[in-house]
């Protein structure tokens, strides 16, 4: 029984580590995709507000809990309702309208940050997302820093050639 308990503790730690790694890898892939989409959007001349909406939608599967109430007021939006609102979200004209259509936990308080270069080619876009760590392995090693931020920052950049200035001359 003692051996089983020790083995289960080890298996649990390995499982938590793999689960944490899988979640961070998924988030990293989504943030990289968002950076590519933002760079492409800036390369064709979209403004910062549109870039923000594009990056947010690209990270939506890893954006945490949906904060937008459902139409009947009985909780938050279902998955199908979220995807049905994407067109309206992209057509929104200002921040408050966009946030009323779709809003997620990691879109708040600057947790998803977007920056892109202006003007000449090549265009570089960077997307960062701060998200909580699922499990702090410092607890196991005894190295716990109470002042440390309990969030992981995932960041990605992409560069695209901007050809739209050539066509606007």
What's the pLDDT band for 132 if we cut at 50, 70, 90? confident
Residue (of 36, 55, 156) closest to 104 by Cα position: 55
Question: Which pLDDT value is given to residue 152?
Answer: 76
**Of the segments 74-83, 87-96, 111-120, which one has the largest average pLDDT value?**
87-96
| Any domain includes 55 | no
| Any domain includes 124 | yes
Residues 6+ apart with CB under 8 A from 86: 57, 102
pLDDT digits (tens, 9 = 90+) for 25-63: 888 999 999 999 998 888 888 888 999 899 999 988 888
Which residue has tokens 């139409």? 71
| Any domain includes 78 | no
**Of the segments 73-77, 116-120, 132-136, 138-142, which one has the largest average pLDDT value?**
73-77
Report whether 57 contacts 101 (CB < 8 A): no
When pLDDT is averaged across residues 84-102 and rounded to a whole number, the result is 91
Residue (of 133, 112, 99) closest to 58 by Cα position: 112
Task: Out of 28-37, 66-75, 113-122, 127-136, pick the least confident.
Answer: 127-136
Question: Which pLDDT value is given to residue 106?
Answer: 84
Which residue has tokens 């959007």? 41
| Any domain includes 24 | yes
| Any domain includes 58 | no
| Any domain includes 80 | no
| Any domain includes 76 | no
Does the structure show a pLDDT above 70 at 67? yes
Structural domain containing residue 132: 2-46+110-167
| Any domain includes 91 | no
Dihedral angle sign, alpha carbons of residues 146, 64, 44, 29: positive
What's the whole-model pTM score? Answer: 0.77
Complete DSSP assignment for 46-104:
--HHHHHHHHHHHTGGGS-SB-SBPTTSSSB--HHHHHHTHHHHHH--SHHHHHHH--B
Residue (of 23, 56, 35, 12) closest to 131 by Cα position: 23
Q: How many domains does the chain have?
A: 1
């Amino acid at each position: 029984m003692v051996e089983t308990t020790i083995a289960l503790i080890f298996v649990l730690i390995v499982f938590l580590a793999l689960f944490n790694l899988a979640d961070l890898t998924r988030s990293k892939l989504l943030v990289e995709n968002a950076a590519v989409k933002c760079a492409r959007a800036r390369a064709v001349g979209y403004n910062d507000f549109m870039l923000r909406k594009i990056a947010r939608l690209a990270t939506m599967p890893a954006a945490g809990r949906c904060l937008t109430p459902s139409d009947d007021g009985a909780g938050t939006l279902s998955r199908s309702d979220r995807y049905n609102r994407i067109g309206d979200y992209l057509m929104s004209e200002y921040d408050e309208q966009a946030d009323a259509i779709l809003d997620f936990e990691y879109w708040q308080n600057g947790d998803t940050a977007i920056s892109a270069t202006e003007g000449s080619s090549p265009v570089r876009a960077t997307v960062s997302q701060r998200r909580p760590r699922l499990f702090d392995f410092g607890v196991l090693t005894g190295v716990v820093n109470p002042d440390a931020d309990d969030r992981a920052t995932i960041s990605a950049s992409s560069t695209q050639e901007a050809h739209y200035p050539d066509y606007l001359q």
